[in-house]
Structure 1
Amino acid sequence: MKNFILTLAFSLTFSALSFGQTDADYTKTLKKMFTVSGTEESYQYAIKQMFVIFKEQSPIVEASVWEEFEKEFSNTSIDKLVEMLAPVYQKYMTQVDLEEMIIFYQTRVGKKYAKNLSMIMQESMEIGQQWGMKIGQEIAYKLKEKGK
Protein backbone atom coordinates (compact mmCIF):
# COMPACT_ATOMS: atom_id res chain seq x y z
CA MET A 1 0.00 0.00 0.00
CA LYS A 2 2.85 2.34 0.90
CA ASN A 3 4.50 1.63 -2.47
CA PHE A 4 1.22 2.29 -4.26
CA ILE A 5 0.85 5.69 -2.55
CA LEU A 6 4.47 6.61 -3.30
CA THR A 7 4.04 5.57 -6.94
CA LEU A 8 0.80 7.53 -7.23
CA ALA A 9 2.35 10.62 -5.62
CA PHE A 10 5.37 10.38 -7.94
CA SER A 11 3.13 9.97 -10.98
CA LEU A 12 0.96 12.94 -10.05
CA THR A 13 4.01 15.11 -9.39
CA PHE A 14 5.59 14.10 -12.69
CA SER A 15 2.33 14.68 -14.56
CA ALA A 16 1.91 18.11 -13.01
CA LEU A 17 5.46 19.07 -13.90
CA SER A 18 5.14 17.89 -17.49
CA PHE A 19 1.72 19.59 -17.83
CA GLY A 20 3.25 22.86 -16.61
CA GLN A 21 6.05 22.48 -19.14
CA THR A 22 3.56 21.88 -21.93
CA ASP A 23 1.67 25.01 -20.90
CA ALA A 24 4.89 27.06 -20.97
CA ASP A 25 5.77 25.68 -24.40
CA TYR A 26 2.25 26.27 -25.65
CA THR A 27 2.22 29.84 -24.32
CA LYS A 28 5.59 30.53 -25.95
CA THR A 29 4.30 29.16 -29.26
CA LEU A 30 1.10 31.19 -28.96
CA LYS A 31 3.14 34.35 -28.33
CA LYS A 32 5.20 33.65 -31.44
CA MET A 33 2.02 33.10 -33.46
CA PHE A 34 0.67 36.43 -32.15
CA THR A 35 3.93 38.11 -33.19
CA VAL A 36 4.12 36.73 -36.73
CA SER A 37 0.37 37.11 -37.36
CA GLY A 38 0.31 40.79 -36.43
CA THR A 39 -1.98 40.13 -33.47
CA GLU A 40 0.62 41.36 -31.00
CA GLU A 41 0.98 44.57 -33.01
CA SER A 42 -2.80 45.07 -32.85
CA TYR A 43 -2.74 44.65 -29.07
CA GLN A 44 0.19 47.08 -28.83
CA TYR A 45 -1.83 49.60 -30.84
CA ALA A 46 -4.80 49.11 -28.49
CA ILE A 47 -2.54 49.78 -25.49
CA LYS A 48 -1.25 52.98 -27.13
CA GLN A 49 -4.82 54.09 -27.76
CA MET A 50 -5.68 53.44 -24.10
CA PHE A 51 -2.78 55.65 -23.05
CA VAL A 52 -4.01 58.44 -25.34
CA ILE A 53 -7.33 58.32 -23.48
CA PHE A 54 -5.64 58.16 -20.05
CA LYS A 55 -3.46 61.16 -20.94
CA GLU A 56 -6.51 63.16 -22.00
CA GLN A 57 -8.31 62.26 -18.78
CA SER A 58 -5.32 63.13 -16.57
CA PRO A 59 -3.49 66.04 -18.23
CA ILE A 60 -1.69 67.02 -15.00
CA VAL A 61 0.38 63.81 -15.01
CA GLU A 62 3.88 64.47 -16.36
CA ALA A 63 4.81 63.09 -19.78
CA SER A 64 7.74 61.16 -18.29
CA VAL A 65 5.35 59.23 -16.04
CA TRP A 66 3.17 58.29 -19.01
CA GLU A 67 6.25 57.22 -21.01
CA GLU A 68 7.42 55.03 -18.13
CA PHE A 69 3.97 53.44 -17.74
CA GLU A 70 3.53 52.92 -21.46
CA LYS A 71 6.91 51.22 -21.77
CA GLU A 72 6.21 48.96 -18.79
CA PHE A 73 2.68 47.99 -19.80
CA SER A 74 3.50 47.54 -23.49
CA ASN A 75 5.90 44.76 -22.58
CA THR A 76 4.33 43.06 -19.58
CA SER A 77 0.67 43.36 -20.43
CA ILE A 78 1.04 41.50 -23.74
CA ASP A 79 2.80 38.63 -21.98
CA LYS A 80 0.05 38.52 -19.35
CA LEU A 81 -2.63 38.63 -22.03
CA VAL A 82 -1.02 35.72 -23.88
CA GLU A 83 -0.94 33.73 -20.62
CA MET A 84 -4.62 34.52 -20.05
CA LEU A 85 -5.58 33.59 -23.62
CA ALA A 86 -3.52 30.38 -23.76
CA PRO A 87 -6.19 28.19 -22.09
CA VAL A 88 -8.80 29.45 -24.55
CA TYR A 89 -6.60 28.73 -27.55
CA GLN A 90 -5.57 25.39 -26.05
CA LYS A 91 -9.22 24.28 -25.99
CA TYR A 92 -9.50 24.70 -29.75
CA MET A 93 -6.00 24.68 -31.21
CA THR A 94 -3.17 22.22 -30.61
CA GLN A 95 0.44 23.28 -30.42
CA VAL A 96 0.94 21.71 -33.85
CA ASP A 97 -1.93 23.86 -35.17
CA LEU A 98 -0.19 26.98 -33.85
CA GLU A 99 3.12 25.88 -35.35
CA GLU A 100 1.45 25.39 -38.73
CA MET A 101 -0.13 28.84 -38.46
CA ILE A 102 3.32 30.28 -37.73
CA ILE A 103 4.64 28.59 -40.86
CA PHE A 104 1.76 30.11 -42.86
CA TYR A 105 2.37 33.60 -41.46
CA GLN A 106 6.04 33.33 -42.46
CA THR A 107 5.09 32.84 -46.12
CA ARG A 108 4.71 35.74 -48.55
CA VAL A 109 0.90 35.48 -48.48
CA GLY A 110 0.84 35.07 -44.70
CA LYS A 111 2.97 38.18 -44.22
CA LYS A 112 0.72 40.11 -46.60
CA TYR A 113 -2.38 38.91 -44.75
CA ALA A 114 -0.90 39.81 -41.35
CA LYS A 115 0.15 43.23 -42.62
CA ASN A 116 -3.32 44.04 -43.96
CA LEU A 117 -5.51 42.24 -41.42
CA SER A 118 -6.16 45.25 -39.19
CA MET A 119 -7.32 47.33 -42.17
CA ILE A 120 -9.42 44.44 -43.48
CA MET A 121 -11.03 44.06 -40.05
CA GLN A 122 -11.63 47.80 -39.69
CA GLU A 123 -13.25 48.11 -43.11
CA SER A 124 -15.20 44.87 -42.59
CA MET A 125 -16.59 46.16 -39.29
CA GLU A 126 -17.77 49.35 -40.98
CA ILE A 127 -19.46 47.36 -43.74
CA GLY A 128 -20.93 44.97 -41.16
CA GLN A 129 -22.42 47.90 -39.26
CA GLN A 130 -23.96 49.29 -42.46
CA TRP A 131 -25.30 45.84 -43.34
CA GLY A 132 -26.76 45.40 -39.85
CA MET A 133 -28.44 48.81 -40.00
CA LYS A 134 -29.91 48.00 -43.42
CA ILE A 135 -31.31 44.68 -42.18
CA GLY A 136 -32.72 46.45 -39.11
CA GLN A 137 -34.43 49.01 -41.33
CA GLU A 138 -35.85 46.28 -43.57
CA ILE A 139 -37.22 44.38 -40.57
CA ALA A 140 -38.76 47.57 -39.16
CA TYR A 141 -40.34 48.31 -42.56
CA LYS A 142 -41.77 44.78 -42.87
CA LEU A 143 -43.15 44.95 -39.32
CA LYS A 144 -44.78 48.28 -40.15
CA GLU A 145 -46.26 46.77 -43.34
CA LYS A 146 -47.83 43.98 -41.31
CA GLY A 147 -49.21 46.49 -38.83
CA LYS A 148 -47.10 45.29 -35.93
Structure 2
Amino acid sequence: MRDIVFALTLFLTSTACMSQRSYHQDAIRYFELNGTEQQYDTAIEQMFALLKEQYNSQNVPDKVWEELKGDKTAALANIKSLLVSAYRSNFSQEDIKQLIVFYESETGQQMVKDRTQLTDAQKTKLSDFFNSKVGQKVQNQSDSLRSMVAEVSELWSRDLYTETIQKLKSKGYQTP
Protein backbone atom coordinates (compact mmCIF):
# COMPACT_ATOMS: atom_id res chain seq x y z
CA MET A 1 0.00 0.00 0.00
CA ARG A 2 2.82 2.34 0.95
CA ASP A 3 4.48 1.72 -2.43
CA ILE A 4 1.27 2.54 -4.28
CA VAL A 5 0.86 5.83 -2.39
CA PHE A 6 4.52 6.69 -3.07
CA ALA A 7 4.19 5.82 -6.77
CA LEU A 8 0.97 7.82 -7.08
CA THR A 9 2.54 10.82 -5.32
CA LEU A 10 5.60 10.60 -7.57
CA PHE A 11 3.41 10.38 -10.66
CA LEU A 12 1.24 13.35 -9.68
CA THR A 13 4.28 15.44 -8.78
CA SER A 14 6.06 14.68 -12.05
CA THR A 15 2.87 15.33 -14.03
CA ALA A 16 2.46 18.70 -12.31
CA CYS A 17 6.11 19.58 -13.00
CA MET A 18 5.78 18.61 -16.66
CA SER A 19 2.64 20.73 -16.94
CA GLN A 20 4.38 23.72 -15.38
CA ARG A 21 7.42 23.23 -17.55
CA SER A 22 5.23 22.93 -20.58
CA TYR A 23 3.41 26.15 -19.69
CA HIS A 24 6.77 27.84 -19.19
CA GLN A 25 8.07 26.58 -22.53
CA ASP A 26 4.88 27.65 -24.32
CA ALA A 27 5.01 31.11 -22.77
CA ILE A 28 8.67 31.48 -23.76
CA ARG A 29 7.77 30.51 -27.34
CA TYR A 30 4.97 33.07 -27.29
CA PHE A 31 7.42 35.77 -26.12
CA GLU A 32 9.74 34.88 -28.98
CA LEU A 33 6.92 35.14 -31.52
CA ASN A 34 5.13 38.27 -30.33
CA GLY A 35 8.23 40.46 -30.14
CA THR A 36 8.56 40.53 -26.35
CA GLU A 37 11.99 38.90 -26.37
CA GLN A 38 13.24 41.34 -29.02
CA GLN A 39 11.85 44.25 -27.01
CA TYR A 40 13.88 43.26 -23.94
CA ASP A 41 16.95 42.51 -26.04
CA THR A 42 16.72 46.06 -27.39
CA ALA A 43 16.27 47.42 -23.84
CA ILE A 44 19.49 45.68 -22.78
CA GLU A 45 21.35 47.15 -25.76
CA GLN A 46 20.02 50.60 -24.89
CA MET A 47 21.12 50.17 -21.27
CA PHE A 48 24.65 49.32 -22.41
CA ALA A 49 24.71 52.31 -24.74
CA LEU A 50 23.67 54.53 -21.82
CA LEU A 51 26.30 53.00 -19.54
CA LYS A 52 29.01 53.41 -22.16
CA GLU A 53 28.09 57.05 -22.39
CA GLN A 54 28.08 57.45 -18.60
CA TYR A 55 31.43 55.69 -18.25
CA ASN A 56 33.02 57.36 -21.28
CA SER A 57 35.56 59.21 -19.11
CA GLN A 58 36.58 55.92 -17.48
CA ASN A 59 37.89 54.52 -20.78
CA VAL A 60 36.30 51.11 -20.20
CA PRO A 61 37.76 48.79 -22.85
CA ASP A 62 35.45 47.14 -25.38
CA LYS A 63 36.57 43.79 -23.99
CA VAL A 64 34.96 44.64 -20.63
CA TRP A 65 31.73 45.74 -22.29
CA GLU A 66 31.62 42.52 -24.30
CA GLU A 67 32.21 40.51 -21.14
CA LEU A 68 29.35 42.31 -19.40
CA LYS A 69 27.10 41.80 -22.42
CA GLY A 70 27.86 38.10 -22.17
CA ASP A 71 25.33 38.02 -19.34
CA LYS A 72 22.59 39.17 -21.74
CA THR A 73 21.31 35.63 -22.36
CA ALA A 74 20.83 35.10 -18.63
CA ALA A 75 19.15 38.50 -18.27
CA LEU A 76 16.72 37.67 -21.08
CA ALA A 77 15.98 34.27 -19.54
CA ASN A 78 15.34 36.00 -16.23
CA ILE A 79 12.84 38.53 -17.59
CA LYS A 80 11.03 35.86 -19.59
CA SER A 81 10.68 33.72 -16.47
CA LEU A 82 9.32 36.69 -14.56
CA LEU A 83 6.87 37.40 -17.36
CA VAL A 84 5.70 33.79 -17.36
CA SER A 85 4.48 34.33 -13.80
CA ALA A 86 2.54 37.43 -14.84
CA TYR A 87 0.96 35.63 -17.77
CA ARG A 88 0.16 32.53 -15.71
CA SER A 89 -2.22 34.54 -13.56
CA ASN A 90 -4.02 35.86 -16.66
CA PHE A 91 -3.91 33.09 -19.26
CA SER A 92 -4.27 29.33 -19.23
CA GLN A 93 -1.87 27.10 -21.09
CA GLU A 94 -4.53 26.57 -23.75
CA ASP A 95 -4.80 30.36 -24.14
CA ILE A 96 -1.04 30.58 -24.63
CA LYS A 97 -1.14 27.79 -27.19
CA GLN A 98 -3.82 29.67 -29.14
CA LEU A 99 -1.77 32.86 -28.96
CA ILE A 100 1.19 30.91 -30.36
CA VAL A 101 -0.93 29.64 -33.25
CA PHE A 102 -1.99 33.19 -34.05
CA TYR A 103 1.53 34.65 -33.84
CA GLU A 104 2.94 31.81 -35.95
CA SER A 105 0.45 32.71 -38.68
CA GLU A 106 1.30 35.08 -41.51
CA THR A 107 -1.04 37.65 -39.98
CA GLY A 108 0.59 37.41 -36.55
CA GLN A 109 4.07 37.67 -38.02
CA GLN A 110 3.10 40.69 -40.11
CA MET A 111 1.51 42.32 -37.09
CA VAL A 112 4.81 42.00 -35.20
CA LYS A 113 6.86 43.26 -38.16
CA ASP A 114 4.67 46.21 -39.14
CA ARG A 115 1.00 46.38 -38.27
CA THR A 116 0.46 49.22 -40.75
CA GLN A 117 1.31 46.88 -43.63
CA LEU A 118 -1.44 44.34 -42.93
CA THR A 119 -3.38 43.36 -46.02
CA ASP A 120 -7.18 43.51 -46.00
CA ALA A 121 -7.29 39.73 -45.61
CA GLN A 122 -4.87 39.94 -42.68
CA LYS A 123 -6.94 42.70 -41.09
CA THR A 124 -9.96 40.40 -41.32
CA LYS A 125 -7.99 37.56 -39.68
CA LEU A 126 -6.79 39.94 -36.98
CA SER A 127 -10.35 41.05 -36.35
CA ASP A 128 -11.47 37.40 -36.21
CA PHE A 129 -8.71 36.70 -33.70
CA PHE A 130 -9.70 39.60 -31.45
CA ASN A 131 -13.33 38.47 -31.63
CA SER A 132 -12.33 34.95 -30.52
CA LYS A 133 -12.47 33.86 -26.89
CA VAL A 134 -8.71 34.26 -26.43
CA GLY A 135 -8.66 37.55 -28.33
CA GLN A 136 -11.39 38.87 -26.05
CA LYS A 137 -9.42 37.68 -23.06
CA VAL A 138 -6.33 39.51 -24.34
CA GLN A 139 -8.33 42.71 -24.64
CA ASN A 140 -10.09 42.30 -21.30
CA GLN A 141 -6.88 41.45 -19.42
CA SER A 142 -4.76 44.09 -21.13
CA ASP A 143 -4.87 46.69 -18.33
CA SER A 144 -4.20 44.17 -15.58
CA LEU A 145 -1.49 42.44 -17.57
CA ARG A 146 0.10 45.72 -18.68
CA SER A 147 0.33 46.80 -15.05
CA MET A 148 1.91 43.52 -13.96
CA VAL A 149 4.35 43.54 -16.88
CA ALA A 150 5.30 47.16 -16.18
CA GLU A 151 6.05 46.33 -12.55
CA VAL A 152 8.08 43.24 -13.45
CA SER A 153 9.95 45.16 -16.17
CA GLU A 154 10.81 48.01 -13.85
CA LEU A 155 12.20 45.71 -11.17
CA TRP A 156 14.12 43.66 -13.72
CA SER A 157 15.67 46.66 -15.47
CA ARG A 158 16.62 48.31 -12.18
CA ASP A 159 18.25 45.11 -10.93
CA LEU A 160 20.08 44.57 -14.22
CA TYR A 161 21.36 48.15 -14.24
CA THR A 162 22.49 47.95 -10.59
CA GLU A 163 24.12 44.57 -11.13
CA THR A 164 26.01 45.84 -14.18
CA ILE A 165 27.24 48.91 -12.29
CA GLN A 166 28.39 46.66 -9.45
CA LYS A 167 30.35 44.54 -11.93
CA LEU A 168 31.95 47.67 -13.35
CA LYS A 169 32.87 48.79 -9.81
CA SER A 170 34.38 45.39 -9.06
CA LYS A 171 36.60 45.90 -12.12
CA GLY A 172 37.75 49.26 -10.77
CA TYR A 173 35.50 51.59 -12.78
CA GLN A 174 33.62 54.23 -10.82
CA THR A 175 30.55 56.19 -11.78
CA PRO A 176 31.54 59.66 -12.90
| Coarse TM-score class (shorter-chain normalised) | 0.5 to 0.7
Which secondary structure state, in structure 2, belongs to the residue aligned with residue 92 of structure 1? coil
Say whether 1:80 aligns with 2:78: yes
TM-score by length of 2: 0.56
The one-character-per-residue Cα deviations of 1:93-115 (angstroms, maximum 9, x if unpaired) are 12221121111112222112112
Number of the residue aligned with 1:18: 15
Say whether the 8 Å CA contact 1:27–1:82 is kept in structure 2. Answer: no
Aligned to 2:77, the other structure's residue is in SS state helix
The amino acid of 2:63's aligned partner reads S
Q: What is the Cα-based RMSD across aligned positions, in Å?
A: 2.0
1:59-114 C-alpha deviation (Å, 9 max, x unpaired):
322111112221x2321211122222222211221222112111111222211211
Superposed CA deviations along residues 29-55 of structure 1, whole A, max 9, x for unmatched, are: 111111111111111001111111222
Counterpart in 2 of 1:103? 101
Q: State the alpha-carbon separation in 2 of the partners of residues 116 and 74 from structure 1.
A: 26
**Distance in 1 between the 2:19 and 2:97 partners?**
14
For 2:20, what is the secondary structure of its paired residue?
helix
Which ranges in structure 1 are unaligned for 5 or more consecutive residues? Answer: 118-148
Find the residue that maps to 1:26 and give its secondary structure: helix
TM-score scaled by length of structure 1: 0.66
Distance in 1 of aligned mates of 2:31 and 2:94: 15
Percent identity between matched residues is: 26
